[in-house]
Structure 1
Amino acid sequence: MLAPYFGNTIYTVSGIIGVILAALSLGYYFGGRLADRRPDSAWFYGIILTGGLAVMALQVMTNLILPFLGNALSLIYGPLIAAVILFFLPALLLGMLSPYAIKLQSLNFPETGIGSISGLIFFWSTLGSIVGSLLTGFVLIPNFGVDKIIMGVGALLIVSGFLPLLKNGRRMKYLFLIFLVSFILSVEYLVIGLGANNLVYRHDGVYEKLLIYDGEYKGRPTRFFQQDRSNSGARYLDTDELVFDYTKYYALYKIFNPQLKKALIIGGGAYSIPKALLKEPGVELVEVAEIEPSLYDLAKKYFRLADDQRLTNHVIDGRRWLHDSQNRYDLIFSDVYYSLYSVPVHFTTEEFFKLAKSKLNDKGVFMANLVGNLDNRPPSLIFSEIKTFKAVFPNSYFFAVNSPDIKATQNIIFLGFNSDQTINFSESKIKNNPDKIISQAGEKLIGFGQIDFSLYNRLSDNYAPVEYLTAKVLD
Structure 2
Amino acid sequence: MLLKILHGKIILFVVCITGLSVLVIEVVATRILSPYFGNTIYTYSSIISVILTALSFGYYLGGRVSDACPYEKYFYGIIFLSGFFSFFIEYIIVWFLEPMSKNISFVYGPLVFSLGLFFLPSFFLGMLTPFAITLQNIKFPESGIGKISGEVFFWSTFGSIVGGLVTGFYLIPNFGVDAIIIGVSCLLAAIGFIGLFAYSIQTKYLYVLLFIFSLFAAFSMVQTKIFKQYGFLYEGEGIYEKILVYDKDYEGRPARFLRSELNSSSAMYLDSDDMLFEYSKYYSLYSLFNKNPKHILVLGGGAYSIPKKYLSEISDAMVDVIEFEPTLYSIAKKYFKLEDSLRLKNYIEDARKFLLTTDNTYDVIFNDVYLSLYSVPSHVITKEFFLLAKSKLNDGGIIIMNLIGDIYPGEKSLVVSGMATFDSVFENTYFFATDDPKKIEVQNIILLGINSNQKIDFQDVLIKENINETIKNLEKQLIRKEDIPINQALVFTDNFVPTEMYTATMLERSLH
Q: TM-score by structure 1 length?
A: 0.97
The one-letter amino acid paired with 1:218 is E
Which deviates more, 198-207 or 225-234?
198-207
Gaps of 5+ in 1: none
Q: Distance in 2 between matches of 1:177 and 1:147?
A: 21
Does the alignment pair 1:164 with 2:195?
yes
Secondary structure of 1:89's aligned partner: helix
The 5 A counterparts of 1:221-236 are 221-236=254-269
Q: What residue number does 1:126 align with?
A: 157
1-side partners of 2:395 and 2:506: how far apart? 37
1:48 and 2:73 correspond = no
2:292·2:317 contact (CA, 8 Å) conserved in 1? no
Match of 1:253 in 2: 286
Could you say if the C-alpha distance between residues 348 and 364 of structure 1 is closer, same or farther in structure 2, counting changes exceeding 3 Å? Answer: same
The answer to whether the Cα contact below 8 Å between 1:262 and 1:283 also exists between their aligned partners in 2 is no
> Over aligned residue pairs, what C-alpha RMSD do you find?
1.4
Q: How far is the alpha carbon of 1:112 from its aligned partner?
A: 1.1
| Secondary structure, aligned partner of 2:331 | helix
Amino acid of the structure 2 residue aligned with 1:58? I
Alignment of 1:213-224 (within 5 A): 213-224=246-257
Report the counterpart of residue 94 of structure 2 in structure 1: 63
> Are residue 285 (structure 1) and residue 321 (structure 2) matched?
no
Q: Is the 8 A contact 1:56 1:151 kept in 2?
A: yes
The alignment status of 1:319 with 2:313, answered yes or no, reads no
Distance in 2 separating the partners of 1:49 and 1:338: 39
Give 4+ residue runs of structure 1 displaced > 6 Å after superposition: none
> What is the correspondence of 1:202-351 to structure 2 with a 5 Å cutoff?
202-351=235-384
The structural deviation recorded for 1:454 is 3.7
Conserved 8 A contact 2:300-2:367: yes
Looking at structure 2, the residues matched to 198 and 400 of structure 1 have their Cα atoms a distance apart, in angstroms, of 34
Partner of 2:137: 106
Once residues 192 and 8 of structure 1 are traced to their aligned partners in structure 2, the CA distance between those partners, rounded to angstroms, is 26
The equivalent residue for 1:136 is: 167
Maintained 8 Å contact 1:338/1:371: no
Which residue does the alignment assign to 2:388? 355
Give the 3-state SS of the residue equivalent to 1:382 in structure 2: helix
User: Equivalents in 2 of 1:437, 1:451: separation in Å?
Assistant: 23
Question: Counterpart of 2:143 in 1: which secondary structure?
Answer: coil
SS of match in other structure, 2:268: strand
> Quick one: which amino acid aligns to residue 37 of structure 2?
F
1:285–1:310 CA contact under 8 A, matched in 2: yes
1:241 is paired with a residue of what secondary structure? coil
Asked if residue 90 in structure 1 is aligned to residue 116 in structure 2, the reply is: no
* Equivalent residue runs for 1:188-199 within 5 Å: 188-199=221-232
Asked if the contact 2:36/2:101 (under 8 Å) is kept, the reply is: yes
Q: Which has the higher helix share?
A: 2
| Deviation for aligned residue 1:143 | 1.2
1:176: Cα distance to partner? 4.1
Q: In the TM superposition, what is the alpha-carbon distance from 1:229 to its structure 2 partner?
A: 2.1
State the aligned residue count. Answer: 475
Task: Determine if the alignment matches structure 1 residue 146 to structure 2 residue 177.
Answer: yes
**Are the aligned partners of 1:338 and 1:370 in contact in 2 as well (CA < 8 Å)?**
no
Write the distance in 2 (CA, Å) between the matches of 1:431 and 1:300: 36
In the alignment, which residue of structure 1 is the partner of 2:45? Answer: 14
Whether 2:405 is the aligned partner of 1:379: answer: no
Does 226-235 or 193-202 show the bigger shift?
193-202
1:12 Cα deviation (Å)?
0.6
Contact 1:257–1:365, Cα closer than 8 Å, also in 2 = no
* Deviations, residues 280-317 of structure 1 (Å, cap 9, x unaligned): 13342111100011000011111111111111111101
Deviation at 1:224, TM superposition (A): 1.1
Contact conserved, 1:393 with 1:416, CA < 8 A, in 2? yes
Q: Which amino acid aligns with 1:371?
A: I
Match of 1:78 among 93, 97, 109: 109
1:15–1:79 contact (8 Å) kept in structure 2: yes
Question: Is the contact made by 1:329 and 1:360 (CA closer than 8 Å) also made in structure 2?
Answer: yes
Aligned-partner Cα distance in 1 for 2:376–2:469 = 29
Q: Write the letter of the residue equivalent to 1:461.
A: D
Q: One-letter code of the match for 1:50? A: L
Residues 264 and 332, structure 1, Cα contact 8 Å, conserved in 2: yes
Query: SS of 1:135's equivalent?
Result: helix
- Structure 1 distance, partners of 2:285, 2:43, is 37
Indicate conservation of the 8 Å contact 2:261/2:372, yes or no: no
* Percent of aligned pairs with the same amino acid: 48
Give the TM-score, by structure 2 length: 0.90
Deviation string 1:199-222 (CA, Å, 9 cap, x unpaired) is 222212111111112222112222
Could you tell me which amino acid in structure 2 is paired with residue 447 of structure 1? R
Gaps of 5+ in 2: 1-31
How many Å apart are 1:175 and its aligned residue? Answer: 4.4
Do 1:322 and 1:359's aligned partners in 2 also have CA atoms closer than 8 Å? yes
